[in-house]
Amino acid sequence: MERVPTGIEGLDNMIEGGFPRGRTVLLSGGCGTGKSIFGMQFLYQGAALHGEPGLYVTVDERPELTRQDMLRFGWDIKKLEDEGKLVILDLTGTKTGVQSEEKYSMSSAMDIDRLVLKIMQTAGEIGARRLVIDSVPALGIRMKDEMEVRNMILKLTYMIRKSDLTAVLISEIPEQTMGAGPMKFSKYGVEEYVADSVILLHYIGMGTDTNRTLYIRKMRGTKHVEDIIPLQISTTGIKLVNPEEAFSV
């Protein structure tokens, strides 16, 4: 199986070299756990280091703010956009109804088929190899019921699977205590089954240096680390820390 280097420092050697090519990864976590940074890092490094064009679909955050925030890690998104290696598709308008000034955008009311088509068309147009959707629940916010959202998720993952894109789908889950009732992996409870991999990000507010973690719940076709991995957000983005190193005194 071909592997896609993730661009996340320390992750590739825990998953046999990278994400399985052409498959989908569900990235779930509570607010502020680093989901968006992870998503952008995957695309930025893919475009900058591996020549793989990427498409970032944003529903929650305005592209302007994302570009600004990512500069903190030394990632010049605008430069890659100018070089045609990275595209931000602005779907914030589908939530707010406000017209976007971005080159790639869509702001009219939600129609599942148009939405999925727009994403796939944009990916095709730029020859994208990597796709990030930030986030899937936000895409569904204006839909009339959960059935419709599930239908959208199924269509979207079906289309992604048909393409050769390696995709990271971001989903929010409320912060939950391990062991307190059944674990939730996604908002609608279908994402984890349609995705080939599930990665969970956690923020544990314990006042120590290392209070963020990453956990690989599944990765089809891959022998992966099963420990809870300490994660840091540094000046160069997200990096995983060898557990022995992090907890040693």
Contact positions vs Mg ion (CB under 5 A): 35-36
Neighbouring residues of 238: CB distance < 8 A, sequence distance ≥ 6: 8, 9, 34, 37, 38, 41, 231, 232
**Does residue 204 interact with ligand ATP by CB under 6 A?**
no
Per rule CB under 6 A, is residue 233 in the interface with ligand ATP? Answer: yes
Determine the Cα–Cα distance for residues 61 and 84; give it in Å rounded to an integer: 21
> Residue 30 has which token pair?
């509570």
List the one residue from 7, 18, 22, 34 that touches ligand ATP (CB under 6 A): 34
Element (H, E) at 110: none
The residues near 61 (Cβ < 8 Å, ≥ 6 apart) are 36, 92, 134
d(CA 206, CA 25): 28
172 makes contact, choosing from ligand ATP, Mg ion, none, with CB < 5 to 8 Å by partner type, with ligand ATP
Both structure tokens of 102? 């971005």
Q: Which residue has the tokens 């900058």?
A: 48
CA 188 – CA 154 distance, rounded (Å): 11
| Binder of residue 29, out of ligand ATP, Mg ion, none (CB less than 5 to 8 A by kind) | ligand ATP
CA 117 to chain CA mean position, Å: 19
Stretch that binds ligand ATP, among 14-22, 34-42, 85-93, 192-200 (CB under 6 A): 34-42
**Is residue 9 a contact point for ligand ATP (CB under 6 A)?**
no
* Binding to ligand ATP in span 39-98, by CB under 6 A: 60, 72
Nearer to Mg ion, 185 or 222 (CB): 185
Minimum distance, C-beta of residue 37 to ligand ATP, in the bound complex (Å)? 4
Q: What is the closest distance, in whole angstroms, from the C-beta atom of residue 204 to ligand ATP in the complex?
A: 13
Amino acid identity, position 54: G
DSSP conformational letter for 23: -
84 binds, among Mg ion, ligand ATP, none (CB under 5 to 8 A by kind): none
In angstroms, give the least distance from the CB of 134 to ligand ATP. Answer: 7
Could you tell me which stretch among 12-20, 33-41, 79-87, 192-200 binds ligand ATP (CB under 6 A)? 33-41
Given phi > 0 = left and psi -120 to 50 = alpha, else beta, which region is 88? beta
Name the residues that contact ligand ATP, by CB under 6 A. 29, 31-37, 60, 72, 172, 233
